[in-house]
Amino acid sequence: AQKVTQAQTEISVVEKEDVTLDCVYETRDTTYYLFWYKQPPSGELVFLIRRNSFDEQNEISGRYSWNFQKSTSSFNFTITASQVVDSAVYFCALSEERPPGANSKLTFGKGITLSVRP
């Protein structure tokens, strides 16, 4: 069975601080996808990144960066120079690799509530 653990439940930082959100996953599959989603106070779920299990390269997108380490089953998310607009709940998720139409549902972690204070 798949499992995603986000041990941090709430994090509060002051604007311009760097913050890392941790994600640890469990799966028996050798091929899988990892995701991060953001849920701002307005409630919608916004897709941030997808990474497949064969691609361990770290990725940077502006102030966001992701560190995927298969050896520790972790997919951590770092926000550099945080801003108030980064305040949201962040979810890490995992899915098996399946062709379209098959069972490719996402298993989500419990989410981390990030508060960025001015």
Partner 1 sequence: DSGVTQTPKHLITATGQRVTLRCSPRSGDLSVYWYQQSLDQGLQFLIQYYNGEERAKGNILERFSAQQFPDLHSELNLSSLELGDSALYFCASSGGARHTGELFFGEGSRLTVL
Is-contact 37 109, C-beta < 8 A?
no
Q: What's the number of CA atoms in the CB half-sphere (13 Å) around residue 111?
A: 12
The minimum distance between CB 43 and partner 1, in angstroms, equals 6
The separation between the first and the last C-alpha atoms of the chain, rounded to the nearest angstrom, is 41
How far is residue 96's CA from residue 111's CA, in Å, rounded to a whole number? 20
Are 34 and 6 within 8 A, CB to CB?
A: no
| Closer residue to partner 1 in complex, CB, 52/72 | 52
- In the complex, least distance from residue 93 CB atom to partner 1, rounded to whole angstroms: 8
Examine residue 43 and tell whether it contacts partner 1 (CB under 8 A). Answer: yes
Q: Is 41 in the site for partner 1 (CB under 8 A)?
A: no
* Cα distance between residue 95 and residue 18, in whole Å: 28
Contact range with partner 1 by CB under 8 A, out of 15-23, 44-52, 56-64, 66-74: 44-52
- Does position 104 interact with partner 1 (CB under 8 A)? The reply is yes
What letter would DSSP give residue 75? Answer: E
**Site residues for partner 1, window 46-75 (CB under 8 A)?**
46-47, 50, 52
Instruction: Write down the least CB distance from residue 68 to partner 1, Å.
Output: 15
User: Which residues bind to partner 1, rule: CB under 8 A?
Assistant: 33, 35, 37, 42-47, 50, 52, 91, 95, 97, 100-111
